[in-house]
Amino acid sequence: MDSLTGQLLVAMPQMMDPRFARSVVYICAHSEEAGAMGLVVNKLLQSLTMDELFTHLKLEPARRNQLNPVHFGGPVEPGRGFVLHTADYQEESTLAVSADFAVTATLDILRAIGRGEGPQRSLLALGYAGWAPGQLDAEMQANGWLSVEADAELVFDDDDDGKWQRALAKLGVDLTMLSTDAGHA
């Protein structure tokens, strides 16, 4: 299967895993040899804001958007933070995913955000979604996920509840026409 790096995965309606039901995942890396890594972009950690996280990490609180939510990035390493952001911000450890998106997992980006010098748009997530080599490909073939081109409006929009339906709409998918049984029309 071709690399899904820089794409969005959209969970099919029959996704039974509650961690991924109705989820939209930005794929940060995908290769045959290493598997895949992504961040869920439409599920929030209800118990934590960026301001609270900054206080916990003893960082200067963000000057703007202090109540920005923190996202559930996935079930792997839930204590590790990742900032998915526009490619206008770069530091040595930044992973440039595409011409429009990058990921940074350092305190330096949080400090830059706190000073108002970070990326134009960003999303902070704790944890990530990971797949072993071949696992994501198998899930795609089993109709667990659809993929769609990522765009900043969808990824960084505040309407987390609407992201799943908007991602499906980008594909022209009508939810009423989807079968919950794989292999059936």
pLDDT band at 40 (very low <50, low <70, confident <90, very high): very high
Q: What gap in Å lies between CA 7 and CA 109, rounded to an integer? A: 23
For residue 88, give its domain range.
7-177
Is residue 157 in some structural domain? yes
Region for 19 from its dihedrals, namely left if φ exceeds 0, alpha if ψ lies in -120 to 50, beta otherwise:
alpha
Is residue 167 in some structural domain? yes
Q: Is the dihedral of CA 168, 27, 159, 88 positive or negative?
A: negative
Is residue 118 in some structural domain? yes
Total structural domains in the chain? 1
Is residue 1 in some structural domain? no
- Write the pLDDT tens digit of every residue in 126-144: 999 999 999 999 999 999 9
Stated pTM of the model: 0.90
- Write the pLDDT tens digit of every residue in 42-83: 999 987 877 788 788 887 766 555 557 899 999 999 999 999
Please report, for the domain that includes residue 71, its CATH number: 3.40.1740.10
